[in-house]
Every structure is written in C-alpha cells, then in structure tokens.
Amino acid sequence: MKKKQILDGVIDHIDFPNKGRVITPEGIVTVKNGIPGQRVRFVINKCRHGSYEGRLLEVLKKSPLETEEAACGEFPYCGGCMYQTMPYQAQLDMKAGQVKALIDGTIRDSGSAGAASLDYTFEGIRPSPQRWEYRNKMEFSFGDAVKGGPLTLGLHKKGSNYDILTADDCRLVHPDMTRILRCVLDYFTENPEDYYRTMQHTGYLRYLLLRRSASSGDLLVHLVTTSQSDPDLSPLVKRLLDLELSGQIAGIMHIINDSLADVVQSDETRILYGQDYFYETVLGLKFKVSSFSFFQTNTRGAEVLYETARSFIGDTKDMTVYDLYSGTGTIAQMLASSARRVIGVEIVEEAVEAARVNARLNDLDNCEFIAGDVLAVLDQIEEKPDFIVLDPPRDGINPKALRKIISYGVPRLVYISCKPTSLARDLGMMMEAGYRLEKLCCVDMFPNTVHTESVCLLSRIK
C-alpha cells in the first residue's frame, strides 16, 4: 500500500475510541469514524513501519448493526453522534468490549506484575438513564458550512476545523437549547455581524454557550464575541425572553473573548439579564453551577457514575480520604457524610472556590479543598490518607504525581477515568508498584458517541 491509494473493505471491528480495523488483501488499515460491519471506501493517508491509516471517503454499504434511522438532519456529516444508527444496547456492548480488551491487553503486557489482576471482576457497562437530550452543557460555534455561505451556528463538520453545521435539531440537548440556538441564529441572520475567523483573527461572533439544570430546567445563555464590534444586544435579549420554553432562562451573559486560541474563555463578562448561575441537584446534594464551573455533562448519568464509585469505595467511616482531581467537589461531598475528613485537590481555582461554596450549601464542615497541582500539593498535606479517589482529566495522571500517590501505600483506591487509554497506561504503572485490579465497571455517560467512563477498584498486594 502507498499514500493516496484508494481502497475499500469491511470494518471488522473497532478499537477504542473509534479506530476501525479494515482487513484488505494488502493488509490491515485503521480507518476512523465507521461502524463495525460497514463496507467503506477510504484513501491511505499514513504509512509508517508497516502500519497503515486511511481516511474514510464513503460508506458503500450499511452495517447489519445499523437498524435505526438517523435522529438528526446532519448525520453522518456532524462528528458528534457516530453511533446513533446503532441500537443503544449494541453501542453498550461494543464500548464494554473495547474497554475490557484494552485493560486485558495491559494486564497481559505487564507480565508477572499484572498476574494478580488476571481474575478481576468485570461488571460490564451501566447505561445512561437518557439516551437523548442528556447534555446539560453545549458549546456551539458561529461560522459557515461552505466558504462564503450563509451564517451557521452549531457543530464542526466531521474532519473539518472550519466548516460549521447548524445544529438546530441536535438530539443530544434538550429542545429548549435548540430553540435558543435557532433564535440567536435567526437574530444575527436578520442583523448581520461577521463571524470570527481564526486564521485572520477578524470578526465578532464566536460561540453560543448554553447550560441547563436537569433538576429545575433553568438555563444560562452566553453569547461569546470579540470586542471588534459593539452592537446593541437588548433586542436579542428581549427575543430570547419571549421564547416559549419548558424551563426558564436564569441568565443571559455577553462574554468578550479576544483570545487567539479557539477556546471559550472570558476577558470580560457582562450580565445582560438575571444571574450567571443556577442550582443543580445530584444524589440529594445541591450544587451551584456558574458560567464556567466544571460539572459532569450528563447530570443523570453522573448519578450512575457516582453511585458506582460509591459502591466500589465502600465504608469510609473514620477515614481520611483524598479526592484528587476533585473538580467542584462532587465526590468529596458524597463521601463526607461517612468519612472523618475529605481533602480535595484541584488545579482549577474557580472549581475549588465552587467546591467550597457547594460544601457550605450542603452544610458539610469536614471537607477541605486545596487549589494547586496534585504533584506539588501532596507535599504540603500533613495528614496521610486512608483511602484515595482519583478522577483525573482525559490525559490521565502525571507519572511523577502517580508515583507520589502510590507511595502512600493505601490498601485500596478507586480510579475514575473518562479515557480508557489513559487508564490503561496508569494501571500498568500501578500494577508494577504492587497494586492489583479488583473490579472494573464502565458507565456510558455519552450515548451515541465514541466515549465512555470507567470506574475501577485497586487493592495493594505488596
């Protein structure tokens, strides 16, 4: 095989996260963005040491697994819901198999270090309570679907950094959010402003950030722009407040963002209406969620995730628990009712402040939250842990920090992962240091997409 060669074949299976394996007479090719059983046409775009990758050009024949109709008008061009034409149970089975294969491969590669983990308990995958309309936060981008075309507002076209598809029938979010999107897009179609072009650094409209409380239905609306124009936004505010929604808009914010990076951030936040927060309830605990505070994207799925973690953690009575990479302190507060003391460490200062506010909301006085990098903060904490909960970001744990965590020698710890490949890498290091994998369970927080969460319990054997 050589670059630019066009081939076709059937996707035999998919490795996490979306690496389809196509078996051809010339060899095996990795082709992303497919479904097992599809016959696809692809072009070879990478050849390295006998390994080949291809870019999907066309689906020639549907997979036998594709028994459902697409739920939105932009499938399969939008890169969000890769698996929406598969029945939900088939998605779950595939994700569970991907994670188990990845972890089993790590154990086998660890040799004698992983031998004790060979008989771990795999509890399969727990589904999300909602397959659709589960996202409580969404960032939509302004742009166009084709160069020079009309204004669009939505999500990136699959494989493109620039083309934006209008997502006014996106099924991952509540209909209130798509009604707001449509309202904003219609307003700026009637009252034109240039969208921001990342290469030229010119334009006004950047993003529409929406958040919704699953418990109350309250919504936060954030229009993110540059400072390159200054139109009167009061007519837009009135139009938004006049919408017929099942929930209510708690706040409308105008966020000025002149950063050159393609990220949603605030140089200045102007509250155009209401307030910049609402309250959410998870497992009986109350949380204040503001414009940029971290919160699990699938609220009801988060309850399944935390219930799973709590069942793995077990009794923490009279224990000091470290909640590392603690975010806004959800897990810490969940454990605080039975633990003697819980210490959360999180590098994002805004999340730490939110955790402190939330602890006060829930009348918890045995939680301490420290802002800083885990690697540095661990040296500052005098009280040693009896139990450790790890919930790191997608890239996993810094190896130096992981060595410090391992050095405490706690008998048991729980690792919550949003990226199985990072979990597998960190597990290898932990097994080398004398821990064994006891239990593993997946939780599907992101139905119809390639992602899944995992919870595992480890115990120290030496």
Q: Provide DSSP, 322-363.
A: EEES-TTSHHHHHHHTTBSEEEEEES-HHHHHHHHHHHHHTT
Which parts of the chain have pLDDT scores under 50?
A: none
Backbone angles phi, psi at 383, to 5 degrees: -75, 125
Rounded to an integer, what distance in angstroms lies between the CA atom of residue 335 and that of residue 351?
Answer: 18
> Strands, E, within 266-339: which ranges?
268-274, 277-282, 285-290, 320-324
Question: Alpha-carbon distance 99 to 442, whole Å?
Answer: 8
Q: Nearest Cα to 285, choosing from 358, 345, 367?
A: 358
Render 404-424 in DSSP notation, one character per residue: HHHHT--SEEEEEES-HHHHH
Q: How far is CA 442 from the centre of its chain?
A: 14
Ramachandran class of 383: left when φ > 0, alpha when ψ lies in -120 to 50, beta otherwise: beta
Angstrom distance (rounded) from CA 319 to CA 310: 14
User: 17: cis peptide before it, omega within 30°?
Assistant: yes
**Is residue 172 a contact partner of residue 81, using CB atoms and an 8 Å limit?**
yes
Residue type at 451 in one-letter notation: H
CA 445 to CA 304: how far, in whole Å?
9
Q: What is the DSSP letter of 291?
A: T
**Nearest alpha carbon to residue 442 among 137, 35, 93, 119:** 93
Please give the radius of gyration of the chain, using alpha carbons only, rounded to the nearest integer. 24
Residue found by looking up tokens 């139109």 in the block = 231
Token pair 């309830």 is found at 281
Largest CA distance in the chain: 68
Other Cβ atoms closer than 10 A to 48: 7
β-pairing, 39-48 with 6-15? Answer: antiparallel
Nearest CA-CA partner of 345 in 386, 379, 296 = 379
Residues marked active site are found at 418
Cis peptide before 76 (omega within 30 of 0): yes
Between the CA of residue 183 and those of 46, 52, 291, what are the distances in Å? 43, 45, 20
What does DSSP assign to residue 447? T
Question: How much is the pLDDT for 26?
Answer: 83
Question: Rounded to the nearest 5°, which phi and psi values hold at 429?
Answer: -70, -35
∠ CA 308-313-317, rounded to 5°: 135
Helix (H) or strand (E) holding 15: strand 6-15
Identify the three-state secondary structure at position 73. Answer: coil
**pLDDT single digits (tens) 92-142:** 999 999 999 999 999 999 988 888 888 999 999 999 999 999 999 999 999
SS3 163: strand
3-state class (DSSP) for residue 13 = strand
Distance (Å, whole) CA 70 – CA 74? 9
DSSP annotation of 113 reads G
The stretches of 198-298 forming alpha helices (DSSP H) are 234-241
Give SS3 for 299: helix
Taking the C-alpha atoms of residue 81 and residue 130, their distance in angstroms, rounded to an integer, is 14
Between CA 278 and CA 348 the distance in angstroms is 20
Sequence-separated (6 or more) residues with CB below 8 Å from residue 248 = 217, 218, 219
C-alpha to C-alpha distance for 141 and 132, rounded to whole angstroms: 21
Single-letter residue type at 81: C
